[in-house]
Structure 1
Amino acid sequence: MGSSNRVPITSSELANLWMTYQEKTMMLRVLEHFLEHSDNEETQMLHSYYNGATKTVEKIKSILQQEGAVIPLGFTESDVNKGVPKLYDTLYDIMYLHLMTKVEMSLFALFTGMSYRKDIEDFFIGLTAESQSINSKSTQFLLEKGVLVRPPYVSMPKQVNFVQDKHYMDGIQWFSETRSLNTVEVSLIHHAIETNLVGMQLMIGFAQVAANKEVQNYLVKGMKLSKKVEVDLGEFLRQSYIEPPATHAGKATASKTAPFSDKLMMYNTGLLASFGLGSNALGGGFSLRSDLPAKMALLTKDIFTFAQDGGKIMIKNGWMEEPPQIEDRNQLTK
């Protein structure tokens, strides 16, 4: 049997390379704006990511060329405007990087499990490790700056317990009062709120500078949806006398000059909506309190509708690049 390099890439490998190319070229454009305005402390981390993303894009180009596949358009220099005022205050660049590497860790770990050719598998293993490294550095940086709020501390368990109360999964305990959240539920809620805080600021900035009125209205909806997620899930923490995470840093500036194309801002918003759908599904699946999955299901429906509406706007404006298509064999029977 020949080497793995002589085996054609599969449909899933082609799809995942294509999606990675879209995401990484978008990230390069966003970081080009951030690097124009970054402080010395932040520049090294941004450059580290930028250099890695540049190599990733070139590697994907090389693989696709070897396979005889067209190189996607992705996001180019036409999607970023140089020399414009910064759209976000100090530290938002690292907050954004922290959020997006969370998205990448999930994506690339999934793509690794969907890879069958050894070099493609190794490629995504490397990308997963790279995203984990940047995410770890950004986490420690933001903690040192007092921007990230750690999840609440709890008393360490001293013995193993099994659920005895038949109402445990109903969320009811002790004379019909709602039982306190367990640590699994707290961790999932904290994660959802933390990511939505960063996403909400992203939507605020995007909405300020969008050129297309329909896009602007859509981004305002995204801002309000992020706020709804934060408020609705935060209430579960407050019921257990836990203060939801909040941050003082990384707000949108008053700039009305767009550093990015509407196409890029819509794609980034759609990517985060997809991440939100996955996170909510995980949160609902691992919660043992019936009221929490019910709330997450309602939020998931809102996020799904929001994502669909965004796709329609992108198609309407000719911004949605079509993924590689499988041959339509139905045409052969006509």
Structure 2
Amino acid sequence: MGNSKDVQLTATEIGIIWSLYQFKTMMVRVLEHLLEKSEDKESRKILTKLYDGEVRIVNELTTIFNNEQAAVPVGFTKKDVMKGVPRLFDHNFDLMYIRTMAKISIGYYALYSTMSYRKDIRNLNNNLTKHAQKVYDEITELLLNRGVLVRPPHISMPKDSEFVKDQKYISGFNFLQEKRPLNTIEIGHLCYAIETNTMGIQLMTGYAQAAKNKDVQNYFVKGKELAQKIVTEFNDILMRSDIQAPVTWTAKATDSTTPPFSDKLMMYNTNLLSTFGLGSNVIGGAFSFRPDLPIKLAMLAQDIFTFAKEGGKIMIENNWMEEPPHAEDRNKLTNKNQ
């Protein structure tokens, strides 16, 4: 760290390490359950290495909070994971889930590294990015070799470089008008969303089976229906361009109804995925040149936002939403003696 400890953390950096602590303590709890139930040698090797890394990061974050004489967040503790319960998802799903969380992590760490100024915080996020990329690569290779992970569709290789010649290329507001074929960038974002939401369907299925709170259970059912809607609509867009949508992989929830995690943890995880889904839709819309696609993505983003907002209300009602550090309330301080 050098002299980093002599430099006060900025508000942004406090927010970064606070958010990382929430995420990493959740991942430690999830991995404790996955490792307890892991029977596959290759999977267990990856999960063990990941677990050790997550614990190390939690300890590093705790040290930063202590060095700054700041309160360590509650995050997620051993109370949020139940031992000795049946597995909620099969072993292939475990890896698909970790792969999805690695995808989310890579994006967040890259963003956090550009928001950090103190050297130790920059180094932390850079190391986290490298670690998440390595985990993603290892799991992707393993799942491809097992035939569980489905590759996106292929198209004919381009023979020439071309330029857009008329306005029809960006047409699409008229839904009665024939649309041009999707380009590879648009195909990529659609397939990415289909893959992520296919995983989300199974995650919400398992969570709905296991949730104790009735409102939480109903919320997860809504999440499953929303993920199904996104997959169906994006598959339909691909099919209209004569592109075969990715085939659903075999990873799935089991028939267990015993919760391995607290409702609080499952709600936080769902909120995290909803936030990621909103960001992906914004990026997908920004890089789509056919105007009907940003419209579709914006409509679905509204659905995701509404879903996430409802989840926030449930978390607040049950005292599950830990509040991030905030700026001083100067009005309150000024008027305290009045």
TM range (shorter): over 0.9
Q: Distance in 1 between matches of 2:119 and 2:173?
A: 50
- Aligned-residue offset at 1:333: 4.2
Q: Do 1:204 and 1:220's aligned partners in 2 also have CA atoms closer than 8 Å?
A: yes
- Aligned-residue offset at 1:207: 0.2
Q: Distance in 1 between matches of 2:23 and 2:81?
A: 15
Within 5 A, what are the aligned runs for 1:43-54?
A: 43-54=44-55
Corresponding residue of 2:95? 94
Q: Distance in 2 between matches of 1:77 and 1:118?
A: 32
Aligned-residue sequence identity (percent) comes to: 52
- Aligned-residue offset at 1:172: 8.5
Q: Distance in 2 between matches of 1:127 and 1:31?
A: 17
Q: Do 1:147 and 1:247's aligned partners in 2 also have CA atoms closer than 8 Å?
A: no
Q: Do 1:108 and 1:127's aligned partners in 2 also have CA atoms closer than 8 Å?
A: yes
The AA in structure 1 aligned to 2:35 is L
- Aligned-residue offset at 1:42: 0.6
Corresponding residue of 2:322? 321
Q: Distance in 2 between matches of 1:333 and 1:35?
A: 52
Q: Do 1:105 and 1:132's aligned partners in 2 also have CA atoms closer than 8 Å?
A: yes
Q: Which runs of 5+ in 1 are unaligned?
A: none
Once the two structures are superposed, what CA deviation does each residue of 1:37-91 show, in whole Å capped at 9, x if it has no partner? 1121210010111011000000000011000101111100000000000101131
Q: Distance in 2 between matches of 1:197 and 1:118?
A: 39
The AA in structure 1 aligned to 2:53 is G
Secondary structure of 2:167's aligned partner: coil
Corresponding residue of 1:286? 287
Change (3 A) 1:11 1:172: closer
Corresponding residue of 2:269? 268
Once the two structures are superposed, what CA deviation does each residue of 1:193-226 show, in whole Å capped at 9, x if it has no partner? 0000111100000000100000000000000000
Q: Do 1:21 and 1:57's aligned partners in 2 also have CA atoms closer than 8 Å?
A: yes
- Aligned-residue offset at 1:246: 2.8
The AA in structure 2 aligned to 1:210 is A
The AA in structure 1 aligned to 2:221 is V
Q: Distance in 2 between matches of 1:333 and 1:214?
A: 41
Q: Do 1:270 and 1:310's aligned partners in 2 also have CA atoms closer than 8 Å?
A: yes
- Aligned-residue offset at 1:262: 0.3
Q: Distance in 2 between matches of 1:9 and 1:70?
A: 14
TM superposition score normalised by structure 1: 0.97
- Aligned-residue offset at 1:176: 4.3
Q: Do 2:173 and 2:292's aligned partners in 1 also have CA atoms closer than 8 Å?
A: no
| Further displaced range: 320-329 or 302-311 | 320-329
Corresponding residue of 1:7? 7
Secondary structure of 2:91's aligned partner: coil
Corresponding residue of 2:21? 21
